[in-house]
Amino acid sequence: MFGVAALVCVLTAIFAPVGLVLGIIGLILGIVALRMTRRPGVTGRGVAIGGLVLSVIAVLVAIAFAAGVTTFLNNKQAVDRLERQVEHLRDKLPH
């Protein structure tokens, strides 16, 4: 469940930090679940692998998103363009 929630949060971009945390929790729980499925009579190996895969994807996407945002914010020209665009849109709003 943490893998699915993490991936959804990361893909909404606004909740990417939450998705990263959920993804890390999902990784830990996925590893624990895989170890538990080694015991005789314990099922759910496929579900554990699925959750682990989704958690890994969520963590990787969150890291890529954070790297992209950091790169963008360190680019002064890009930030200036964004500020001009926001001011332009603000001027178009009805007063």
Contact (Cβ atoms closer than 8 angstroms) between residue 37 and residue 44 = yes
What mean pLDDT, rounded, does the chain reach?
Answer: 88
Cβ contacts of 33-36, under 8 Å, gap ≥ 24: none
Structure tokens at 11: 């893909």
Task: Tell which wins on pLDDT, 25 or 71.
Answer: 25
Cβ-based neighbour number of residue 58 at 10 Å: 29
Count of alpha carbons within 13 Å of 66, Cβ hemisphere only?
13
Dihedral pair phi/psi, residue 21, rounded to 5°: -65, -45
- Asked whether residue 54 carries a pLDDT value surpassing 90, the answer given is yes
Per-residue model confidence (pLDDT) at position 68: 84
Give the tens place of pLDDT for each residue, 56-95. 999 999 999 888 888 888 888 888 888 899 999 988 888 6
Instruction: For residues 19 and 59, give the distance between their C-alpha atoms in angstroms, rounded to a whole number.
Output: 7
Per-residue model confidence (pLDDT) at position 26: 92
Is the full-model pTM beyond 0.85?
no
- Enumerate residues 6+ apart whose C-beta is below 8 A from 46: none
